[in-house]
Amino acid sequence: MTSSERKHTPFLEQVATHYLNKDIDLSNYCFVFPNRRSGQFFKDYFTRSTSAATTMLPEVETITELVAEITGDTLATPIEAISILYNAYKEIADDNSLQEFDKFIFWGNTILRDFNDVDMYMVDPEQIFRNVKELKEIGTDYLTPELKQAIENIFKVHIDSQDSDTLWKSVEGRYVKLWEQLHSLYVTFNKLLDQEELSYNGRSLKKAVQCVDKATAQELPHDKYIFAGFNVLSKCEQEIFKKLKQKGLAEFCWDYNSRAFRDDKTNQATKFISTYIKDFPNAIDETEINDFPDITVIGIPSNVGQAKYAFQVVDELVESKKIADVNNAIDTAIVLPDESLFIPLLNSVSDKVPNINVTLGYPLRGSSIVSLMRIVAQMHSRARREGGKRDFAFLKEDVKCVLSHPVIKSHYGPEATRLTSEIDNSNAYTITEKQFSGYGFADLFETIHDVKNEEEIECYIERIKHFVEKTCLATGQQCNAAAPDPDAEDEPMSLQAAFARQYLDVLNETQDVISHYGIPMCECSIFYLIDRLTSLYTIPFQGEPLAGLQVMGMLETRCLDFKNLIMLSMSERIFPRKYFSSSFIPVNMRRHYQMSTIEHQESMTAYYFYRLISRAENVYLLYDTTTQSLGSGEHSRFIDQLEKIYGVKMHFRQLNMKIKPASSLTISIDKDEATWKAIEAYRQEASGQYLSASSIKELIRCPLKFYFHHIQKLNEDNDDSEFMDASTFGSIVHDTLQQLYYPAELNGTGKHNIVSKDAIEGFIKKRLENCVVSNTNSLYLHKKEAELDDPLTGDALIVKDALIIFVKKVLTHDLDLLKKHETDYFEIYECEQQHELTLKLPGAKQSFNFMYRIDRADKIGGKGPLRIIDYKTGGDETKFSYAADLVDPTKSKLQAIMQLFLYCNAYAQEHPGEKEIQPVIYKLKDMDKSGIFYGTNEIADFKAEYADASPEKEKHNVNAEFVDEIDMVMSNFFDREVKLKQCDATQQAPPCSYCKFVEFCRR
């Protein structure tokens, strides 16, 4: 790429050309850039701009490398720095409020940032920390939500409800002591760093200023330093520039040629750089840029959609010949201010541009192994010892999150599925670590029992490493980071194996630091440190950095120029995005000492944007028009500035996703030979196929669901639930009542049971709670018989009281009935007995095989109508006005009445001697509404006539009308010409919401 192909000469090419044209020996010059990428491009421009084959390349360094060269410092890693700071705090602290490392670490990172800024901006540490100490107006508004939560957890106070004075008093001076000790901590921290021969960035910069000040020109390693492409500088960097300039050893190349910089002195991008240019004049004379590129703004109603559309723009550039060489599209860049779009972008690569260079690398924190370990960390943080036991117990929901993670499912699928099934079946609230013994992933569930035992901590990290190594080997790759195969370095490695190898590096570093600095750890501290480290690593992609279409983040664009630019995430609140860092130093004090504030961030972002587009020819700015997450749905303020301040005529596109709704389709099933045979079986004697009240309900509400469930025999898998479902709740109530009214030993004997008033009262006092516990352990927790009396825990313990209340409601209602009827006993005919018969409803055309189970059949005092009782814990209604309503698919709450009418007819057929049979619903939520009512009349005998609610009080044989309605349903069912259709979508309350077969019919 030469300047003749470009409208504007790239900045780095201008720098290279300027110094080559001087015809001087550049071999001992040092060109200093903000980042390595700009140095690589500079070398390329320099090499291609020189005509002499023997010209020596000058030294090219970043500012960080220059400081390291001058000072000889080794920078501490983040984990080393926080460990040394913790040991420094322990030396000076005279209280125990933050002695635990996992409590200190939240404050420690804030302190490290403040120490770094104090040195980087050459502030007197004693003075500023004394000012901080004396500042009485400090309020919690200076704290991030994370730090506020840390204060609340450590000092047990609620910040939002207190003013600052009350806050400091409420923590009894412990937090104030930390403020008071900042300078002492700073001094001790630096002393310990000296002992370890380590430093941090701000300290090294401050030391570099001193070294440059003291050194003579001959003592410095280079004859001349050329600083190119900088914009916002720290005080230390300004001093380095100043002192090298005073010694005649520095020149400065500023990229300050955009029309936005020159014509608008209020532009945030010029806030700092305009001052620097006065102090450090520009060494190169640039040709003024008086225009802006051709800019197209594209609104896309999807965040990921931007990534998909970016390569459509690339295809446009190829087709219009705006990309000069499709095989080496180095004149084109896709810039990602939001790096989370990196993977969606890679999945959208166009085949029209064969070569792509990715500058970003894939962040380790976005890998599957790190996401798994974050879930494991959360699981350990919420684990608890139960009842003083040595072993920890994990929350069921956390365990299931781990077992369902893609890493576990892909490498330990059968084991994870089996264990998940066991956990679901047990319904236990917590899972002990012993239960994972023998599984391939057991290492993740072992805990540290004694956090003061260094060997145990060491073993814990070794177990995590062991798990990662096993997982990596499962991919067929050797990933032992401690001793990689040197012969395999150039072999391609799967992404997952690369993640695993990098993660092992992190684990080894964590292990070394813990061992070296003697930091007391628990699982939470270890995972926190690991998580901090993973945020620093990326997995680099192999490629040629100076060839192909460039994909990079915003910081990587510094000093670089491209003919074609495609920038994503140009949404307000995304670009520019404000980053708020917690600090002990208030903002106003930072401004007084000229330290970094939000204004520095805003100036840098504005500079990056305007500088980047200044020499481009074709710019495409894509933004998300939706209002989800951080986005506001509006384009970036920079787009408004271009249009309204600089008068740039831009092209606007608004993409809309046209979604055509599918037309309504009713699925119907023909009764083919196999289906008809299955249906016919329901009215053939000895077929073994029976309809039940619940299956008839399904047939009424949705024949298609009946077909799936009962003809095709597809099971309705229960949804995973963290708590007891309504069905299990009802079963426990039923079984508890049966233990009183008709004990299991009477089943099948045909004997009646007499339950007296005294028996009911005694059951309430002595047996009720034990029966509820036993049935909960059996039906919900699925425990063995020997464990049925175990105390309940977790959600089962919470629900126990509700179960007892519901059972008591029934028993209290029954006691009231005995008092009302002036008797002292119930004669129980049966409870929960299964009946099978061919039901022949009186006057009906159809008969069918029917199976039913009555909750309870009794007589009060052994006389009166036989009551067929059904317990209902839900919202079923007990009152109806028309028999047709009982088979109306839109009135599902009346179908409990339909159920009881079926039971009464079936029981009457089996027991023709019973003259009066009364259907009764026990409505457990409101026992006062128990019974069944036709209009205002309680039905005392299902075969009798009752007056309706009309003024004429016309009498109806309700059962006869019911039989006509149910017979119509069964006639359609047994009519081969009538199809099995899905429910009507226009129903007021279609059953689709909770149907497990909804994915089949797409309703």
Q: Mean per-residue pLDDT for 813-836?
A: 94
pLDDT at 861 over 90: yes
Structure tokens at 831: 């409870």
Structure tokens at 662: 């599918």
pLDDT at 570 over 70: yes
Of 111-125, 170-184, 294-308, where does mean pLDDT reach its minimum? 170-184
Instruction: Give residue 176's pLDDT.
Output: 47
pLDDT at 53 over 80: no
Closest C-alpha to 50, from 8, 9, 22: 22
Query: What 3-state class would DSSP assign to 884?
Result: helix
Residue with tokens 């204060």: 151
CA distance 484 to 472: 13
pLDDT at 46 over 80: yes
pLDDT at 165 over 50: no
Of 295-304, 352-361, 395-404, 910-919, where does mean pLDDT reach its minimum? 352-361
Closest C-alpha to 876, from 946, 929, 949: 929
More confident residue, 165 or 453: 453
Of 357-361, 743-747, 904-908, where does mean pLDDT reach its minimum? 357-361
More confident residue, 357 or 31: 31
Instruction: Give residue 54's pLDDT.
Output: 56
Q: Mean per-residue pLDDT for 427-433?
A: 81
Residue 861 makes CB contacts below 8 A (sequence gap 6+) with 818, 821, 822, 823, 824, 825, 826, 827
Structure tokens at 402: 């781990």
pLDDT band at residue 590 using 50, 70 and 90 as cut-offs: very high
pLDDT at 150 over 70: no
Asked if residues 923 and 813 have their Cβ atoms less than 8 Å apart, the reply is no
Structure tokens at 514: 């813990």
Q: Mean per-residue pLDDT for 17-46?
A: 92
Query: What 3-state class would DSSP assign to 810?
Result: helix
What pairing do the DSSP bridges indicate for beta strands 392-395 and 384-385? antiparallel
Structure tokens at 267: 């532009």
**Cα–chain center distance at 224:** 52
Closest C-alpha to 562, from 41, 20, 18: 41
Q: Mean per-residue pLDDT for 509-521?
A: 81
pTM: 0.69
Structure tokens at 456: 């145990």
pLDDT at 488 over 60: no
Average pLDDT taken over every residue of the chain: 85
pLDDT at 896 over 60: yes
Instruction: Give residue 660's pLDDT.
Output: 58
Structure tokens at 645: 């301040």
Q: What radius of gyration do the chain's Cα atoms show?
A: 39
CA distance 570 to 564: 16
pLDDT at 639 over 80: yes
Kindly state the helix (H) or strand (E) to which residue 990 belongs, with its residue range: none
pLDDT at 988 over 60: no
206 to 38, 117, 124, 964: CA distances (angstroms): 25, 11, 11, 96
What does the chain come to in residues?
1003
**Torsion angle in degrees (nearest 10) through CA of 167, 173, 175, 181:** 140
Instruction: Give residue 831's pLDDT.
Output: 94
Instruction: Give residue 226's pLDDT.
Output: 97
CA distance 255 to 229: 6
Angle CA 928–929–935, to nearest 5: 140
More confident residue, 341 or 474: 341
Give the CB-side neighbour count of residue 418, counting CA atoms within 13 A.
10
Peptide bond into 78 cis (omega under 30): no
CA distance 221 to 29: 9
Q: Mean per-residue pLDDT for 389-418?
A: 87
Closest C-alpha to 373, from 146, 539, 528: 528
Instruction: Give residue 134's pLDDT.
Output: 81
Closest C-alpha to 252, from 28, 26, 32: 32
133 to 190, 575, 595: CA distances (angstroms): 20, 36, 18
pLDDT at 950 over 70: yes
pLDDT at 369 over 50: yes
Q: Mean per-residue pLDDT for 690-714?
A: 91
DSSP 542: P
pLDDT at 87 over 80: yes
More confident residue, 919 or 160: 919
More confident residue, 835 or 875: 835
pLDDT in tens, 237-264: 999 999 999 999 999 999 998 888 887 7
pLDDT band at residue 679 using 50, 70 and 90 as cut-offs: very high
636 to 366, 577, 594, 650: CA distances (angstroms): 26, 10, 28, 14
pLDDT at 75 over 90: yes
Instruction: Give residue 959's pLDDT.
Output: 95
Peptide bond into 576 cis (omega under 30): yes
CA distance 997 to 1003: 10
Asked if residues 626 and 637 have their Cβ atoms less than 8 Å apart, the reply is no
pLDDT at 153 over 80: no
pLDDT in tens, 209-224: 999 999 999 999 999 9
359 to 54, 64, 207, 336, 451: CA distances (angstroms): 31, 19, 32, 11, 42
What pairing do the DSSP bridges indicate for beta strands 937-938 and 224-228? unpaired
Amino acid (one-letter) located at 99: Q
Instruction: Give residue 148's pLDDT.
Output: 63
Asked if residues 624 and 302 have their Cβ atoms less than 8 Å apart, the reply is yes
pLDDT band at residue 192 using 50, 70 and 90 as cut-offs: very high
Q: Mean per-residue pLDDT for 402-410?
A: 90
Which residue pairs, CB below 8 angstroms and at least 24 apart, start in 681-688?
A: 681/849, 682/848, 682/849, 683/838, 683/846, 683/847, 683/848, 683/849, 683/974, 684/849, 685/838, 685/849, 687/849
